[in-house]
Structure 1
Amino acid sequence: AQLGPYLAHRRTARPYVVLKLAVSLDGRTAAPDGSSRWITGAAARADAHLLRAESDAVLVGAGTVRADDPTLTVRDAPVPARGQPRRVVLGTAPAGARVHPCTELQGDLGAALDRLGHEGVLQVLVEGGPTVAGAFHRAGLVDRYVVYLAPALFGGDDGRPLLTGAGAPTIDDVWRGRITDVRRLGDDLRIDLEPREG
């Protein structure tokens, strides 16, 4: 599992970026009030901990830290021999947040990846909310998308979307990935995608 990240790091000096997304059938990640626990079932959440265990770092935005106060640790999977993945926050984490100790990065995403790569991070798991996810996607920085699709419907357009920011202006501009794996996890589906070459 580490060959792809290793080769990506050798080629770019940056970590291999895995973007983890959990979403309802109607493309929502949270209710209008911000509640999102839990869109997916226990099997999908346990699988997400395996993704953390495979990663050298787990990255979220400061908004996710303020909203959810995550620990970003491996809990439902064996902790790797190297220990827990490094916790990275884009922005500033509140002083009492459970994510501490963490690395706080400011500014450009490319520069953040350059720093993490320089510090030996081969794979970073991006678990941020729709703002961070949208920023990584639009910048073309994602090497692999892991989408956990729940058989749930929020049933309106006022729930939180998967990605925020400007989207494709026309159907010709829509991003289309290549599905590399689909598997069932309890009632949910895990879909792995990669960007198409060229």
Structure 2
Amino acid sequence: MGRRSKLLNEHEFIARLDGAERVSVNVVTDGRLLVAIGYEFGYRLDEIRGGTSFTLVFLRDDSEEARRRAGWTTRLYRTHGAWWDSCWPPAVRHLPDTVTPAEAGAARIAVHRFRRAGTSPTRAILLIGGVVALMGAGHAHETPPLALSLVALAVALLAVTPAAARRILTAHSRQLAIVERFENQRHHPPPHAPEAA
């Protein structure tokens, strides 16, 4: 099984990313920086459990690209403590459209949530609300103003469902674009650069 712990800072979290297949972290903040760090050290977000206080579960990514990225990040971290230097090079930090590791982490969380649920939860809530409003209108037949109001509410909820789904898809596209911009600003080490063990 993986490792599970409450962490106070990024250095303790990095110490947990020791090659274990799964790493779980209890989080009370938004977790975006932890997701960014995990990604740079060769882990991908696998699961989010809980509500206000939640657990992030990371799974080791054994792809060649992830291992190379993790090796280079580990080398930079061991050399001067700056794990972020390859993904957020000094040359781009002051550009107006630069994406910080934390912003990329937040985008990765949003992409993960979309891939798990898509537009289903929002559509379900709106459709259930519309059906409940119609049922209420049927029971309120003795009070025409209330019945008409409930029918209008049902129609509005059902009409807004496709627009809400489109809005979620648009937001998902924006998050993917942030991740892509972040990856494009990455500094890739030369092929002969030694990787950390």
Greater helix share, 1 or 2? 2
TM-score computed with the length of structure 2 as normaliser: 0.23
Higher relative contact order (CA 8 A, sep 6+): 1
Please give the TM-score of this superposition, normalised by the length of structure 1: 0.22
Q: Which has the larger radius of gyration?
A: 2
